[in-house]
Structure 1
Amino acid sequence: MAEWDLDLIAQWMLTHDGEGYVDPDAGEVYGGGYGEVFDRDGDVLEEIPEAWVRIPHSTSHEDFAVMEDFAQLLTEPHLREQLERALEGRGPFRRFRDTVFSINGLGHLWLDYRQARVEREAAEWLIDEELVRPDQAAALRERVADALATTVLAVRRAGDRELAEVERLERELQEPFRRRDVDWLDRVLADDFEEVGASGRVWSRAETLRALAVEDDRVIGVRDLVVRRLGVDTALVRWLSDSEAGVAERSSVWRKERNGWRIVHHQGTARSAG
Protein backbone atom coordinates (compact mmCIF):
# COMPACT_ATOMS: atom_id res chain seq x y z
CA MET A 1 0.00 0.00 0.00
CA ALA A 2 1.23 3.47 -0.82
CA GLU A 3 1.88 5.69 2.20
CA TRP A 4 -0.64 8.33 1.17
CA ASP A 5 -0.24 11.93 2.26
CA LEU A 6 -3.64 12.38 3.94
CA ASP A 7 -2.90 15.99 4.80
CA LEU A 8 -2.32 16.87 1.14
CA ILE A 9 -5.34 14.89 -0.08
CA ALA A 10 -7.49 16.67 2.51
CA GLN A 11 -6.23 20.04 1.28
CA TRP A 12 -7.32 19.22 -2.28
CA MET A 13 -10.71 18.09 -0.97
CA LEU A 14 -11.17 21.48 0.69
CA THR A 15 -9.82 23.48 -2.27
CA HIS A 16 -12.35 24.52 -4.89
CA ASP A 17 -9.95 26.60 -6.99
CA GLY A 18 -8.10 23.65 -8.51
CA GLU A 19 -8.01 19.92 -9.01
CA GLY A 20 -6.01 17.27 -7.20
CA TYR A 21 -5.13 13.78 -8.43
CA VAL A 22 -3.50 10.68 -6.98
CA ASP A 23 -1.19 8.38 -8.88
CA PRO A 24 -2.05 4.88 -7.58
CA ASP A 25 1.18 3.36 -8.87
CA ALA A 26 3.59 5.86 -7.31
CA GLY A 27 1.46 6.80 -4.30
CA GLU A 28 1.91 10.46 -5.17
CA VAL A 29 -0.50 13.42 -5.04
CA TYR A 30 -0.55 16.01 -7.82
CA GLY A 31 -2.61 19.08 -8.51
CA GLY A 32 -2.93 22.51 -9.99
CA GLY A 33 -5.28 25.32 -10.83
CA TYR A 34 -6.74 27.26 -13.72
CA GLY A 35 -6.99 24.13 -15.84
CA GLU A 36 -3.35 23.14 -15.40
CA VAL A 37 -1.86 20.24 -13.42
CA PHE A 38 1.83 20.07 -12.59
CA ASP A 39 4.19 17.12 -12.33
CA ARG A 40 6.69 16.61 -9.50
CA ASP A 41 9.19 18.91 -11.26
CA GLY A 42 6.64 21.72 -11.47
CA ASP A 43 6.10 21.41 -15.22
CA VAL A 44 2.61 21.57 -16.70
CA LEU A 45 1.30 18.20 -17.85
CA GLU A 46 -0.02 18.07 -21.39
CA GLU A 47 -2.60 15.48 -20.34
CA ILE A 48 -3.67 13.66 -17.18
CA PRO A 49 -2.59 9.99 -17.16
CA GLU A 50 -5.57 7.65 -17.38
CA ALA A 51 -4.50 5.76 -14.26
CA TRP A 52 -4.68 8.87 -12.07
CA VAL A 53 -7.76 9.30 -9.88
CA ARG A 54 -9.26 12.74 -9.32
CA ILE A 55 -9.69 13.79 -5.68
CA PRO A 56 -13.31 14.83 -4.99
CA HIS A 57 -14.14 18.22 -3.53
CA SER A 58 -16.10 18.47 -0.30
CA THR A 59 -19.62 19.80 -0.83
CA SER A 60 -21.05 22.91 0.82
CA HIS A 61 -23.47 20.64 2.69
CA GLU A 62 -20.58 18.60 4.11
CA ASP A 63 -18.62 21.74 5.02
CA PHE A 64 -21.66 23.19 6.80
CA ALA A 65 -22.16 19.95 8.76
CA VAL A 66 -18.55 20.11 10.00
CA MET A 67 -19.13 23.66 11.29
CA GLU A 68 -22.33 22.57 13.03
CA ASP A 69 -20.58 19.62 14.67
CA PHE A 70 -17.73 21.84 15.87
CA ALA A 71 -20.16 24.26 17.51
CA GLN A 72 -21.95 21.40 19.26
CA LEU A 73 -18.68 20.17 20.79
CA LEU A 74 -18.27 23.35 22.82
CA THR A 75 -19.41 22.83 26.39
CA GLU A 76 -19.38 26.52 27.28
CA PRO A 77 -22.94 27.71 26.41
CA HIS A 78 -22.10 31.27 25.38
CA LEU A 79 -19.37 30.12 22.98
CA ARG A 80 -21.63 27.50 21.43
CA GLU A 81 -24.45 30.01 21.03
CA GLN A 82 -22.16 32.51 19.27
CA LEU A 83 -21.20 29.95 16.65
CA GLU A 84 -24.74 28.66 16.24
CA ARG A 85 -25.97 32.21 15.60
CA ALA A 86 -23.22 32.68 13.02
CA LEU A 87 -24.57 29.68 11.10
CA GLU A 88 -28.06 31.15 10.78
CA GLY A 89 -29.26 32.91 7.64
CA ARG A 90 -27.38 33.75 4.48
CA GLY A 91 -23.59 33.83 4.24
CA PRO A 92 -22.90 31.41 7.12
CA PHE A 93 -19.41 30.36 5.98
CA ARG A 94 -17.80 33.80 6.19
CA ARG A 95 -19.74 34.71 9.34
CA PHE A 96 -18.68 31.47 11.06
CA ARG A 97 -15.04 32.01 10.10
CA ASP A 98 -15.05 35.60 11.36
CA THR A 99 -16.72 34.55 14.62
CA VAL A 100 -14.52 31.56 15.40
CA PHE A 101 -11.33 33.57 14.83
CA SER A 102 -12.61 36.42 16.99
CA ILE A 103 -12.68 34.12 20.04
CA ASN A 104 -9.26 33.80 21.64
CA GLY A 105 -7.68 30.40 21.01
CA LEU A 106 -10.66 28.92 19.16
CA GLY A 107 -9.53 29.59 15.60
CA HIS A 108 -6.60 27.18 15.61
CA LEU A 109 -8.78 24.49 17.21
CA TRP A 110 -11.32 24.93 14.44
CA LEU A 111 -8.60 24.46 11.81
CA ASP A 112 -7.29 21.34 13.60
CA TYR A 113 -10.78 19.88 13.90
CA ARG A 114 -11.70 20.57 10.27
CA GLN A 115 -8.42 19.06 9.10
CA ALA A 116 -8.96 15.91 11.20
CA ARG A 117 -12.50 15.55 9.86
CA VAL A 118 -11.43 15.90 6.23
CA GLU A 119 -8.49 13.52 6.71
CA ARG A 120 -11.00 10.95 7.95
CA GLU A 121 -13.02 11.52 4.77
CA ALA A 122 -9.82 11.23 2.72
CA ALA A 123 -9.07 7.87 4.33
CA GLU A 124 -12.58 6.59 3.57
CA TRP A 125 -12.26 7.79 -0.03
CA LEU A 126 -8.96 5.94 -0.47
CA ILE A 127 -10.56 2.79 0.92
CA ASP A 128 -13.66 3.11 -1.29
CA GLU A 129 -11.48 3.62 -4.36
CA GLU A 130 -9.51 0.48 -3.40
CA LEU A 131 -6.32 2.51 -3.21
CA VAL A 132 -5.70 0.92 0.18
CA ARG A 133 -5.44 -2.83 0.59
CA PRO A 134 -8.34 -4.37 2.57
CA ASP A 135 -5.99 -5.77 5.20
CA GLN A 136 -4.62 -2.26 5.86
CA ALA A 137 -7.93 -0.40 5.86
CA ALA A 138 -8.62 -1.06 9.55
CA ALA A 139 -5.25 0.38 10.62
CA LEU A 140 -5.84 3.50 8.50
CA ARG A 141 -9.31 4.00 9.96
CA GLU A 142 -7.93 3.62 13.48
CA ARG A 143 -5.20 6.17 12.82
CA VAL A 144 -7.54 8.89 11.60
CA ALA A 145 -10.08 8.08 14.33
CA ASP A 146 -7.42 8.52 17.02
CA ALA A 147 -6.32 11.86 15.54
CA LEU A 148 -9.91 13.10 15.43
CA ALA A 149 -10.59 11.93 19.01
CA THR A 150 -7.58 13.88 20.27
CA THR A 151 -8.81 17.03 18.53
CA VAL A 152 -12.36 16.56 19.85
CA LEU A 153 -11.03 16.37 23.42
CA ALA A 154 -9.10 19.60 22.91
CA VAL A 155 -12.20 21.38 21.59
CA ARG A 156 -14.35 20.20 24.47
CA ARG A 157 -11.73 21.27 26.98
CA ALA A 158 -11.44 24.71 25.36
CA GLY A 159 -15.11 25.32 26.02
CA ASP A 160 -14.94 24.17 29.63
CA ARG A 161 -13.40 26.76 31.93
CA GLU A 162 -13.26 24.38 34.87
CA LEU A 163 -11.24 21.79 32.94
CA ALA A 164 -8.92 24.57 31.81
CA GLU A 165 -8.42 25.45 35.48
CA VAL A 166 -7.65 21.81 36.34
CA GLU A 167 -5.09 21.68 33.53
CA ARG A 168 -3.45 24.88 34.81
CA LEU A 169 -3.21 23.49 38.35
CA GLU A 170 -1.79 20.15 37.19
CA ARG A 171 0.90 21.90 35.15
CA GLU A 172 1.75 24.29 38.01
CA LEU A 173 2.07 21.32 40.35
CA GLN A 174 5.06 20.17 38.30
CA GLU A 175 6.89 23.51 38.66
CA PRO A 176 9.67 23.67 41.29
CA PHE A 177 8.47 27.01 42.68
CA ARG A 178 5.03 25.51 43.37
CA ARG A 179 6.35 22.23 44.80
CA ARG A 180 8.22 24.27 47.43
CA ASP A 181 5.24 26.54 48.20
CA VAL A 182 3.81 24.98 51.38
CA ASP A 183 0.80 27.29 51.55
CA TRP A 184 -0.12 26.65 47.91
CA LEU A 185 0.28 22.89 48.30
CA ASP A 186 -1.88 22.96 51.41
CA ARG A 187 -4.67 24.53 49.36
CA VAL A 188 -4.27 22.25 46.34
CA LEU A 189 -3.73 18.82 47.96
CA ALA A 190 -7.02 17.44 49.25
CA ASP A 191 -7.18 16.33 52.88
CA ASP A 192 -7.50 12.70 51.75
CA PHE A 193 -4.81 12.97 49.04
CA GLU A 194 -2.65 9.94 48.32
CA GLU A 195 -0.03 9.08 45.74
CA VAL A 196 0.87 5.66 44.39
CA GLY A 197 4.49 5.48 43.34
CA ALA A 198 5.99 3.34 40.56
CA SER A 199 7.10 0.83 43.21
CA GLY A 200 3.52 0.42 44.40
CA ARG A 201 4.09 2.30 47.64
CA VAL A 202 1.24 4.52 48.76
CA TRP A 203 2.22 7.99 50.00
CA SER A 204 -0.08 9.87 52.33
CA ARG A 205 -0.67 13.60 52.14
CA ALA A 206 1.69 14.25 55.06
CA GLU A 207 4.42 12.05 53.56
CA THR A 208 4.09 13.76 50.19
CA LEU A 209 4.42 17.22 51.74
CA ARG A 210 7.53 16.17 53.66
CA ALA A 211 9.11 14.69 50.51
CA LEU A 212 8.41 17.82 48.48
CA ALA A 213 9.93 20.01 51.17
CA VAL A 214 13.37 18.49 50.56
CA GLU A 215 13.05 17.89 46.82
CA ASP A 216 15.65 19.47 44.54
CA ASP A 217 14.78 21.82 41.67
CA ARG A 218 14.45 19.07 39.11
CA VAL A 219 12.62 19.92 35.92
CA ILE A 220 9.64 17.74 35.03
CA GLY A 221 8.58 17.86 31.39
CA VAL A 222 4.86 17.58 30.67
CA ARG A 223 3.57 16.28 27.34
CA ASP A 224 0.42 14.76 25.83
CA LEU A 225 -1.69 16.12 28.67
CA VAL A 226 -5.42 15.35 28.40
CA VAL A 227 -8.18 16.36 30.83
CA ARG A 228 -11.68 14.90 30.93
CA ARG A 229 -14.56 14.92 33.34
CA LEU A 230 -15.41 11.87 35.44
CA GLY A 231 -18.45 13.61 36.90
CA VAL A 232 -19.84 17.03 37.65
CA ASP A 233 -17.23 17.69 40.36
CA THR A 234 -14.41 15.31 39.40
CA ALA A 235 -11.85 15.29 36.59
CA LEU A 236 -9.12 12.95 35.36
CA VAL A 237 -5.78 14.22 34.04
CA ARG A 238 -3.43 11.94 32.09
CA TRP A 239 0.00 12.88 30.75
CA LEU A 240 3.58 11.76 30.22
CA SER A 241 6.43 13.08 32.35
CA ASP A 242 10.01 13.53 31.14
CA SER A 243 12.75 13.78 33.74
CA GLU A 244 16.22 12.48 34.50
CA ALA A 245 14.56 9.34 35.85
CA GLY A 246 13.00 8.62 32.45
CA VAL A 247 9.50 8.71 30.98
CA ALA A 248 6.48 7.86 33.13
CA GLU A 249 2.75 7.69 32.56
CA ARG A 250 0.91 9.96 34.99
CA SER A 251 -2.70 10.21 36.07
CA SER A 252 -4.37 12.49 38.61
CA VAL A 253 -7.90 12.73 39.95
CA TRP A 254 -9.13 16.21 40.89
CA ARG A 255 -12.23 17.06 42.93
CA LYS A 256 -14.09 20.35 43.05
CA GLU A 257 -14.58 21.46 46.65
CA ARG A 258 -16.04 24.58 48.21
CA ASN A 259 -12.82 26.57 47.81
CA GLY A 260 -11.83 25.25 44.38
CA TRP A 261 -10.30 22.23 42.69
CA ARG A 262 -8.01 19.96 44.75
CA ILE A 263 -6.04 16.89 43.76
CA VAL A 264 -7.22 13.68 45.43
CA HIS A 265 -5.08 10.99 43.85
CA HIS A 266 -1.93 10.75 41.75
CA GLN A 267 -0.21 7.74 40.24
CA GLY A 268 2.97 7.38 38.24
CA THR A 269 3.99 4.31 36.24
CA ALA A 270 7.45 4.13 34.71
CA ARG A 271 7.55 3.27 31.03
CA SER A 272 9.75 0.37 30.05
CA ALA A 273 12.66 1.19 27.79
CA GLY A 274 11.34 -1.17 25.13
Structure 2
Amino acid sequence: MSDMDLDHILRELAAREPIFHRREFGTSRADLERMTDSNFWQIGASGKVYQRGYAIETSLARYEKGPEPHDWPCRDFTITVLADRLFLLSYILEEPQRVTRHSTIWRRTDEGWKIVFHQGTATG
Protein backbone atom coordinates (compact mmCIF):
# COMPACT_ATOMS: atom_id res chain seq x y z
CA MET A 1 0.00 0.00 0.00
CA SER A 2 1.42 3.36 -0.97
CA ASP A 3 1.53 6.39 1.30
CA MET A 4 -0.90 8.09 -1.09
CA ASP A 5 -3.43 5.27 -0.60
CA LEU A 6 -2.98 5.44 3.16
CA ASP A 7 -3.48 9.23 3.13
CA HIS A 8 -6.74 8.71 1.22
CA ILE A 9 -7.90 6.09 3.76
CA LEU A 10 -6.95 8.40 6.63
CA ARG A 11 -9.09 11.22 5.19
CA GLU A 12 -11.97 8.85 4.47
CA LEU A 13 -12.01 7.41 8.00
CA ALA A 14 -11.36 10.74 9.75
CA ALA A 15 -14.56 12.07 8.12
CA ARG A 16 -16.49 9.30 9.94
CA GLU A 17 -15.19 10.18 13.39
CA PRO A 18 -16.25 10.37 16.06
CA ILE A 19 -18.27 7.28 15.30
CA PHE A 20 -22.03 7.47 15.88
CA HIS A 21 -21.90 11.30 15.78
CA ARG A 22 -21.64 11.85 12.03
CA ARG A 23 -25.27 11.72 10.97
CA GLU A 24 -24.44 11.90 7.27
CA PHE A 25 -23.39 8.24 7.45
CA GLY A 26 -26.85 7.20 8.62
CA THR A 27 -29.04 7.27 11.69
CA SER A 28 -31.29 4.23 11.29
CA ARG A 29 -30.82 0.86 12.96
CA ALA A 30 -29.99 -0.62 9.55
CA ASP A 31 -27.34 2.08 8.97
CA LEU A 32 -25.73 1.45 12.36
CA GLU A 33 -25.77 -2.31 11.89
CA ARG A 34 -24.24 -1.90 8.45
CA MET A 35 -21.38 0.26 9.78
CA THR A 36 -20.52 -1.98 12.76
CA ASP A 37 -18.98 -5.42 12.66
CA SER A 38 -21.22 -8.11 14.17
CA ASN A 39 -18.61 -8.53 16.95
CA PHE A 40 -18.18 -4.78 17.56
CA TRP A 41 -17.46 -3.67 21.11
CA GLN A 42 -16.08 -0.57 22.75
CA ILE A 43 -14.49 0.71 25.92
CA GLY A 44 -15.91 4.05 27.00
CA ALA A 45 -13.93 6.88 28.56
CA SER A 46 -15.27 5.62 31.91
CA GLY A 47 -13.56 2.25 31.35
CA LYS A 48 -16.87 0.43 30.93
CA VAL A 49 -17.22 -2.14 28.16
CA TYR A 50 -20.17 -1.81 25.77
CA GLN A 51 -21.37 -4.30 23.19
CA ARG A 52 -22.76 -3.56 19.74
CA GLY A 53 -26.43 -3.64 20.79
CA TYR A 54 -25.92 -1.06 23.51
CA ALA A 55 -23.98 1.26 21.17
CA ILE A 56 -26.73 1.04 18.56
CA GLU A 57 -29.58 1.62 21.05
CA THR A 58 -27.77 4.57 22.67
CA SER A 59 -27.11 6.14 19.27
CA LEU A 60 -30.72 5.70 18.13
CA ALA A 61 -31.98 7.38 21.33
CA ARG A 62 -29.54 10.28 20.79
CA TYR A 63 -30.62 10.73 17.16
CA GLU A 64 -34.25 11.05 18.25
CA LYS A 65 -33.36 14.04 20.45
CA GLY A 66 -32.33 16.16 17.48
CA PRO A 67 -29.08 17.82 16.42
CA GLU A 68 -25.87 17.34 18.37
CA PRO A 69 -25.18 20.01 21.03
CA HIS A 70 -21.80 20.80 19.41
CA ASP A 71 -19.81 19.81 16.33
CA TRP A 72 -17.49 17.17 17.90
CA PRO A 73 -14.15 18.65 16.72
CA CYS A 74 -11.38 16.09 16.21
CA ARG A 75 -7.67 16.60 15.58
CA ASP A 76 -4.28 14.89 15.39
CA PHE A 77 -5.40 11.88 13.35
CA THR A 78 -3.00 8.99 12.83
CA ILE A 79 -3.52 5.74 10.99
CA THR A 80 -1.80 2.37 11.29
CA VAL A 81 -2.23 -0.66 9.07
CA LEU A 82 -2.90 -3.65 11.33
CA ALA A 83 -3.49 -6.29 8.65
CA ASP A 84 -4.89 -6.56 5.15
CA ARG A 85 -7.98 -4.29 5.07
CA LEU A 86 -7.74 -3.58 8.83
CA PHE A 87 -6.74 -0.13 10.13
CA LEU A 88 -6.31 1.59 13.49
CA LEU A 89 -7.35 5.25 13.47
CA SER A 90 -6.45 7.40 16.50
CA TYR A 91 -7.31 11.02 17.25
CA ILE A 92 -8.13 13.57 19.93
CA LEU A 93 -11.73 14.66 20.49
CA GLU A 94 -12.38 18.08 22.03
CA GLU A 95 -15.71 17.99 23.81
CA PRO A 96 -16.99 21.05 25.69
CA GLN A 97 -16.22 19.57 29.14
CA ARG A 98 -13.28 17.24 28.42
CA VAL A 99 -10.60 16.13 25.99
CA THR A 100 -10.34 12.45 25.11
CA ARG A 101 -8.07 10.30 22.97
CA HIS A 102 -9.90 7.83 20.75
CA SER A 103 -8.92 4.75 18.80
CA THR A 104 -11.12 2.95 16.29
CA ILE A 105 -10.32 -0.24 14.44
CA TRP A 106 -11.88 -0.15 10.98
CA ARG A 107 -12.23 -3.02 8.51
CA ARG A 108 -12.68 -2.41 4.79
CA THR A 109 -15.27 -4.87 3.47
CA ASP A 110 -16.98 -5.36 0.13
CA GLU A 111 -20.01 -3.59 1.67
CA GLY A 112 -17.98 -0.61 2.91
CA TRP A 113 -16.26 0.40 6.14
CA LYS A 114 -17.11 -1.50 9.33
CA ILE A 115 -16.19 -0.52 12.88
CA VAL A 116 -14.65 -3.45 14.73
CA PHE A 117 -13.59 -1.81 18.01
CA HIS A 118 -13.57 1.63 19.60
CA GLN A 119 -12.04 3.10 22.76
CA GLY A 120 -12.17 6.56 24.26
CA THR A 121 -9.81 7.56 27.08
CA ALA A 122 -9.92 10.76 29.11
CA THR A 123 -6.62 12.64 28.81
CA GLY A 124 -6.64 14.36 32.13
TM-score, reference length from structure 1: 0.39
Q: Distance in 1 between matches of 2:18 and 2:46?
A: 23
Q: Which residue of 2 aligns with 1:92?
A: none
SS at match of 1:214: helix
Q: Distance in 2 between matches of 1:166 and 1:204?
A: 21
The Cα of 1:264 is off from its aligned counterpart by 0.4
Q: Distance in 2 between matches of 1:245 and 1:238?
A: 20
Give the 3 Å change call, closer, same or farther, for CA 227–218 of structure 1 in structure 2. Answer: farther
* Between structures 1 and 2, the one with greater helix share: 1
Identity across aligned pairs (percent)?
25
Alignment of 1:1-274 (within 5 A): 75=2, 156=3, 158-160=4-6, 161-170=8-17, 173-178=20-25, 180-215=27-62, 216=65, 217-219=68-70, 220-272=72-124
Q: Distance in 2 between matches of 1:206 and 1:175?
A: 18
Q: Distance in 2 between matches of 1:212 and 1:179?
A: 11
* Between structures 1 and 2, the one with greater strand share: 2
The Cα of 1:252 is off from its aligned counterpart by 0.5
- Residue by residue over 1:164-196, the C-alpha shift from the partner in whole angstroms, topping out at 9 and shown as x without a partner, is 433333367432454634332221111111110
Q: Comparing 202-211 with 177-186, which one deviates more in the overlay?
A: 177-186
The Cα of 1:259 is off from its aligned counterpart by 1.6
SS at match of 1:206: helix
TM-score, reference length from structure 2: 0.79
Give the 3 Å change call, closer, same or farther, for CA 246–171 of structure 1 in structure 2. Answer: closer
**Structure 1 portions without partners, runs of 5+:** 1-73, 76-155
Give the 3 Å change call, closer, same or farther, for CA 159–233 of structure 1 in structure 2. Answer: closer
- Residue by residue over 1:125-165, the C-alpha shift from the partner in whole angstroms, topping out at 9 and shown as x without a partner, is xxxxxxxxxxxxxxxxxxxxxxxxxxxxxxx2x43344443
Give the 3 Å change call, closer, same or farther, for CA 181–226 of structure 1 in structure 2. Answer: farther
Contact 1:179 1:212 (C-alpha < 8 Å) held by counterparts = no
- Bigger RCO (CA 8 Å, 6+ sep): 2
- Residue by residue over 1:57-80, the C-alpha shift from the partner in whole angstroms, topping out at 9 and shown as x without a partner, is xxxxxxxxxxxxxxxxx81xxxxx
Contact 2:74 2:94 (C-alpha < 8 Å) held by counterparts = yes
Give the 3 Å change call, closer, same or farther, for CA 245–211 of structure 1 in structure 2. Answer: farther
Tell me which structure has the larger Cα radius of gyration: 1
